[in-house]
A and B are shown apart, each in its own frame.
Chain A
Amino acid sequence: MTTAVTISLNVNGERVEASVLPRLNLADFLRDHLKLTGTHVGCEHGVCGACTVRVNGDIVRSCLLLAVQMHHATVETIEGLSDSGEIADLQSAFRERNALQCGFCTPGMLMAAQDLLKQSPCPDREQIREHLSGNYCRCTGYQAIIDAIETTARARTGRLP
């Protein structure tokens, strides 16, 4: 029974059928099988947040889900959010505020930030910090990331700085 299992899911709007071993996690499935390498793999035990993706609309750790659990699920990765233009303003704010340096954490940061802005359009800095508490950044010291998210929130709600 350690044999492959057939799964059918939707990834960034496209139907995907695959045959996967049970031990394969979603992050590796996205990266190695679908070549969607924007999802990064850092700690592989749920601490760093670099592998954050959306499953059925909710952000999750793709290293803590098995690909076999994704049968009939809808998965959105950074490539999907980027291509659809959903987070174009957030990405631009990150760039302008130098909210990324090496970029390793950025896909996960953008996923978590967009999740927060969808749930609460005008978060204060403390709420932003709390929502990003599960995402590590080893370059920026976080201040610029929080600035970029705050700026995006203001712009989206028409409260320009």
Chain B
Amino acid sequence: MKASAFAYARATSVANALELLTAHGEGAKVLSGGQSLLPAMNLRLLAPDLIVDIGELAELRGIVVKEGALSIGALTRHADLLKSPEIATHAPLLTDAVAHVAHPAIRNRGTLGGSLAHADPASELPACMLTLGATIIARGPGGERRIAASEFFAGIYETALKPQELLVAVELPVTPKYSTHFFHEFARRHGDYAIVGLAAQAFVRDGRFTDLRLGFFAVGDRPLLARSAGKLVDVAITSAVLSEAFSALDEELDPLDDHQATPAMRRHLAKVLLARCVSSLLGRPDLRMGASA
């Protein structure tokens, strides 16, 4: 199908984009990479009156490391993230995750800011933002606002952004040297929407987790930073401990039913991912089988 008719404005600066958004409110949609917006428009799930194209605002594209933080411009493309030595060094979880985002031709256009603002619950990058403790920076008519990733995602395609605000950048704390990470998702075809996925980061000392952050996606209406990770920290992990974590995780999940999977299947796969994650990060192949629970 084809998108319905709309008006088009090419923003010449962030200030100009904000003026357009303020003037047109909810009738306007921001176009960055367009790799989620245009399919939705072609399928007539969305029919904005005005498209504000921010694609040429070069100031919003790029990766900078300073004072223990990574600052990533909203227009930084998936392909930029995948190839960036700064991301590979300072946020290696993100490098692993981006390789699972769609396909090369889509990664060449899709942007980090676009993915976060779109807030598809099956997307990889929103969950990574929770795991990595990101801060999302939005600019609006009243100035700049910093939003913790944990406060940003509000539901299916819903975020804390106001219609007049533009997501301009993301800040991530530099990943500490001795931390480890795990990323995996189940999908029908490499690059397809995840059925269930997990982006995890941890500290391991003497065979135990001293910290563990588990960002699940496609397990509810928004990404989930699982509190049940706490059951696995500062304890010797046995299959009984893992089972307890499974039960706690199960309580936190609220999976959706769609053409890809039933909620029961998603609950099961989330446990499989958790078992694989723990087994991989601790180097304990014996725990991998714990998923049969």
Which residue of chain A has the shortest Cβ distance to B8 in the bound complex? A22
Cβ of B104 and Cβ of A131 under 8 Å apart? yes
Q: Which residues of B contact A1 (CB under 8 A)?
A: 7-9, 50
B5 touches which of A2, A5, A115, A134 (Cβ 8 Å): A2
Identify the A interface with B (CB < 8 A).
1-2, 5, 21-23, 25, 28, 44-46, 49, 52, 58-61, 63-66, 68-69, 71, 112, 115-116, 129-131, 133-135
Residue pair B108, A59 in contact (C-beta under 8 Å) = yes
Chain A CB within 8 A of B102 CB = yes
For residue B2, CB closer than 8 A to chain A, the reply is yes
Asked if residues A58 and B39 are in contact (CB atoms below 8 Å), the reply is no
A116's closest neighbor in chain B, by CB?
B104
Q: At the interface, is chain A mostly helix, strand, loop or mixed?
A: mixed
**B38 near A64: Cβ-Cβ < 8 Å:** yes
Which 10 A-B pairs give the minimum distances between C-beta atoms?
Answer: A134-B103, A1-B7, A22-B8, A45-B39, A58-B108, A133-B190, A59-B105, A64-B38, A23-B3, A133-B191
> Contact size class for B?
20 to 34
Shortest CB distance A4–B (Å)? 10
Q: Does B34 sit within 8 A of A, measured CB to CB?
A: yes
Q: Report yes or no: B104 in contact with A134, Cβ–Cβ below 8 A.
A: yes
Task: State whether A64 touches B39 (Cβ < 8 A).
Answer: yes
List of A residues within 8 angstroms of B10 by Cβ: 68, 71
Q: Given A59-B104, A63-B42, A65-B38, 15 more contacts at CB 8 Å?
A: A2-B6, A5-B8, A22-B5, A23-B2, A23-B3, A25-B42, A45-B38, A46-B38, A46-B39, A60-B108, A64-B109, A112-B104, A116-B104, A133-B190, A134-B191
Does B291 sit at the interface, judged by CB under 8 A? no
